[in-house]
């Protein structure tokens, strides 16, 4: 933070004359504020903030993946129900086929067995 030194500051602060005759004023400000302003955020604080940011992003990513997993599990259950329905339909049809048909019960049983 740049601060303009006024005559009042010079009068109230310690001052001394340099060899070239110019007045050198020492204005005392809060050292902590000045040093933090010039150095920025302390490294430990940056590390803590980075850790929090990464953790929150990972948690959000986990929530997204869990939601996708739930959706895929639901779709899988639907497909399993559909497969079961088709197997039941094939069994039902195979019972009504004559023994001389291309697809005998024996062939269907082979196809439908796990």
What is the radius of gyration, based on Cα positions, of the chain?
41
Q: How far apart are CA 56 and CA 64, in angstroms?
A: 12
Q: How far apart are CA 22 and CA 7, in angstroms?
A: 13
What pLDDT was estimated at residue 112?
Answer: 65
Give yes or no for a contact between 44 and 8, defined as CB atoms under 8 angstroms apart.
no
What pLDDT was estimated at residue 95?
Answer: 86
Listed by start position, the domains of the chain span 1-40, 42-114
pLDDT per residue rounded down to tens, the chain (114 residues)? 445 555 555 544 444 444 444 444 444 445 555 555 567 899 999 999 999 999 999 999 999 999 999 999 999 999 999 999 999 999 999 888 776 455 555 665 666 666
Residue given tokens 């302003």 in the structure block: 37
pTM (two decimals)? 0.47
């Amino acid at each position: 933070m740049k601060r303009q030194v006024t005559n009042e500051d010079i009068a109230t602060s310690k001052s001394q004359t340099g060899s070239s005759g110019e007045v050198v004023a020492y204005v005392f400000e809060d050292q902590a504020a000045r040093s933090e302003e010039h150095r920025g955020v302390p490294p430990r604080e940056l590390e803590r903030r980075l850790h929090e940011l990464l953790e929150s992003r990972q948690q959000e990513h986990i929530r997204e993946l869990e939601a996708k997993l739930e959706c895929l599990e639901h779709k899988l259950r639907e497909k399993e129900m559909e497969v079961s329905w088709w197997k039941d339909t094939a069994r039902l049809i195979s019972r009504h086929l004559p023994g001389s048909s291309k697809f005998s019960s024996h062939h269907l049983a082979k196809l439908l067995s796990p």
